Amino acid sequence: MLDIRFIRENETEARRLLDMRGQALLLGGLLSLDKRRRALIEATDAQKARRNELSREISEAAKRGGEISDLKEESRRIGDSITAGDAELKAIENDLESRLLQIPNFPHASVPPGRTAEDNLVVREWGIKPVLDFTPKDHLALGKELRIFDFERGTKITGSGFPVYHSAGAVLERSLVNFFLDFHRERGTYTEVTVPFVVNRKSLIGTGQLPKFEEDLYLSNTDDLFLIPTAEVPITNLHRDELLNESELPICYCGYTPCFRREAGSYGKDTRGFLRVHQFDKVEMVKFTRPEDSYAEHEKMTKDATAILESLGLHYRVVLLCAGDMGFGAAKCYDIEIWSPAEQKWLEISSCSNFEAYQARRANIRYRRSDTGKPEFVHTLNGSGLATPRLLVCLLETYQNDDGTVSVPDVLKKYTGFGLITSSGVR
């Protein structure tokens, strides 16, 4: 959520920043509501002050045994007026709040202008495209021949986009999750947490998925609980409505969860196999920082994600998203993309975002500054580190051999217990 005071005092700038995302129209009517709100507060506060004064007078007059019925009558009249004013105020504040919840974050000054992925900037690239002296098979062909995935049966038991991992595929997938978690733990930056996979509305409002993107979520109607689309939601909300100590910042968590996404509206786009699924596994990194530290922590977090890819020997690039291509709550976002030899294209494997105070304001996550002694909103960040499906695509395609087998990267062998996947089993 944006700070209404900032918008009030910097209307032109606010309009310019939202226009970078093509969302300046959302500001329409906001400030006149804000003005009406403040006028009402001023009026009702004055009436409440008068009522408090009358109450004191009544108390004193009653003690002296004086006449109090006129005072009571005036107080009652003012009370009625206050009730009316408060009712209008509440309606206006509800309206204002629901409008503010629909407005995306401002892009940071370092974010390039632009409306589509065309305007994103590649900021660095690591490794080279794998050189194969044969025509690479795609992950679907490899998965079928090696019998490590079963998309058809996943479709049967649930629906499309709910993959089944089979035999070596199941082990490989589980190994990746453990590898990611151990990777972060050994570097000592993140505290591992295991959190619920189902969350309430308040949590989703806190991180920005609600109220605007409800159709992207799976909902359990009976209890009004949602399956999480990312561990960002439960982990960021760990500190909702809390006042943190400055000395404990930055707080850095990582955690594994499955993720559930309806992917409404994205049918027909990258839907084959693992390219877009409704359920997948991911290890997420989440940070809570002081405002002045968040951009340095953002760079570090992005490096934490790419370091995993380097240890797996996978060709990747880091892309700085333009204002129009960023997610709703992000002020700045790097996408990390890995190369698919069979698809001959880059696949998004991670998004590392700095939300600044946007989520903190929604979720009321503050810390007490030691220099001022005053509470202030933290900055929140999160990034995938990493998600398994597209990683499996690139891993299999990159490490396939000309005889149809697939080698396991060295760092994963201690997790899988095998080094080669063949159609007749593992070795």
Task: Report if residue 46 touches RNA, rule: CB under 7 A.
Answer: yes
Residues with a known catalytic role: 261, 276, 348, 351, 390
Question: What are the tokens at 125?
Answer: 């690239």
- The DSSP symbol for 56 reads H
Among 16, 90, 185, 303, binds RNA (CB under 7 A): 90
Which range in 46-54, 112-120, 131-139, 411-419 contacts RNA by CB under 7 A? 46-54
Q: How far is the CB of 196 from RNA (least distance, A)?
A: 11
Task: Report if residue 203 touches RNA, rule: CB under 7 A.
Answer: no
- Separation CA 286–CA 288 (nearest Å): 7
Token pair 């009370």: residue: 79
Residue 282 CA neighbour count, 13 Å, CB half: 28
Residues 91-110 that bind RNA (CB under 7 A): none
> What CA–CA distances, in Å, run from 88 to 31, 39, 50, 117?
17, 11, 20, 44
Task: Report if residue 276 touches RNA, rule: CB under 7 A.
Answer: no
- Separation CA 285–CA 302 (nearest Å): 10
User: How many binding residues for RNA (CB under 7 A)?
Assistant: 27
- Residue 336 · residue 391 · CB < 8 Å: no
Task: Report if residue 84 touches RNA, rule: CB under 7 A.
Answer: no
Q: How far is the CB of 27 from RNA (least distance, A)?
A: 17
Task: Report if residue 64 touches RNA, rule: CB under 7 A.
Answer: no
- Residue 138 · residue 392 · CB < 8 Å: no
Residues 114-153 that bind RNA (CB under 7 A): none
Among 7, 75, 111, 359, binds RNA (CB under 7 A): 75
- Residue 199 · residue 233 · CB < 8 Å: yes
Among 79, 114, 130, 258, binds RNA (CB under 7 A): 79
Q: How far is the CB of 76 from RNA (least distance, A)?
A: 4
Looking only at the bridges linking them, the beta strands covering 242-245 and 365-368 are parallel
Task: Report if residue 72 touches RNA, rule: CB under 7 A.
Answer: yes
Task: Report if residue 201 touches RNA, rule: CB under 7 A.
Answer: no
- Separation CA 62–CA 76 (nearest Å): 17
Among 17, 54, 168, 338, binds RNA (CB under 7 A): 54
Which stretches of 335-378 are DSSP H helices? 358-363
Q: How far is the CB of 59 from RNA (least distance, A)?
A: 4
Token pair 């038991």: residue: 157
Residue type, 415: Y
Binding site for RNA (CB under 7 A): 5, 38, 41-42, 44-46, 48-49, 51-52, 54-55, 58-59, 62, 72, 75-76, 79, 83, 90, 243, 370, 373-375
